[in-house]
Amino acid sequence: MPTLRIDVVTIFPEMFDALVGHGISGRAAERALFQMHRWNPRDLTEDAYRRVDDRPFGGGPGMVMLAEPLARTLDAISEAQLEERVRSQARADVKKAPVIYLSPRGAPLTQQRVCELAELTELTLLCGRYEGIDERLLRARVDEEIAIGDFVVSGGELPAMMLIDAVVRWLPGAVQDFASVQEDSFTRGLLDCSHYTRPEDWRGLRVPDVLLGGHHQRIREWRRQEALLTTQQRRPELLTSARKQGWLDPADERVLSRIGDQAKAT
């Protein structure tokens, strides 16, 4: 299994310390399940001020990232990726790494896309700041634009870290407990069931009896019902698409119609 190489273009490379320093992504980095390289376009500027941005043509608020320092950075990355392939004797026919721009105008990131990205061996992520990047650079060099949701954050770094975290979890061996990855597929397309731990009675609030009985089949059924019910209540549109995907079986449908009947009765 070749390790995933991620190249990130950012004017705030230190922000990514958080990603490689903690948790599942930190451990995966330590164990070299992926390698991350950070590139600061400021390092490839040639003017005395090391400018990476300028005022927008046509006026308006804010600044725009310059195309040239980013193009130079992306060139340097392509070169480094090529060198790495030679060094690691990668197959000659591997496709060029896609360049992904984290952008509020991008397509919303989905678990489906995350899984596809986890299959790649190289990934280049471009993080914007200010109002965005000169459109000509995007047209010339970016393969895909991805957003993380319909809300505004201050730059592409946190979105890029979210994408990397989501992808790295899917690398073989990243999540210690394989059962928890399996569970993600058990509740595929649904919200998770509720979880409980000790004590059995916490300030008068009890754990559901079924979880204490040790009857594994019943526990399984209860958790599935919980997942279906919670999804029905909070994100009914997820249920519609899970149904279209064929992820609900007849037993699930019986649970859901029972929920529907109870709702009508009250």
Single-letter amino acid, residue 153: V
The bridge status of strand 4-9 relative to strand 34-39 is: parallel
Quote the least distance from Cβ 159 to ligand 9D3, whole Å: 4
116-145: which residues touch ligand 9D3 (CB under 6 A)? 128, 131-132
Cβ proximity to ligand 9D3: between 26 and 106 the closer is 106
Residues taking part in catalysis: 104, 131, 169, 184
Cβ proximity to ligand 9D3: between 36 and 100 the closer is 100
Q: Of residues 13, 41, 69, 159, which one binds ligand 9D3 by CB under 6 A?
A: 159
98's torsion region: left (phi>0), alpha (psi -120 to 50) or beta? beta
Asked whether position 104 contacts ligand 9D3 by CB under 6 A, the answer is yes
- The residue whose two tokens read 């979210």 is 162
CA dist list (Å): 70 to 67, 80, 81, 155, 227: 5, 15, 16, 15, 45
CA distance 28 to 135: 35
Cβ proximity to ligand 9D3: between 40 and 232 the closer is 40
CA distance 19 to 99: 20
Asked whether position 41 contacts ligand 9D3 by CB under 6 A, the answer is no
CA distance 138 to 134: 7
Cβ proximity to ligand 9D3: between 137 and 175 the closer is 137
Asked whether position 232 contacts ligand 9D3 by CB under 6 A, the answer is no
Residues in contact with ligand 9D3 by the rule CB under 6 A: 102-104, 128, 131-132, 147-149, 151-156, 159
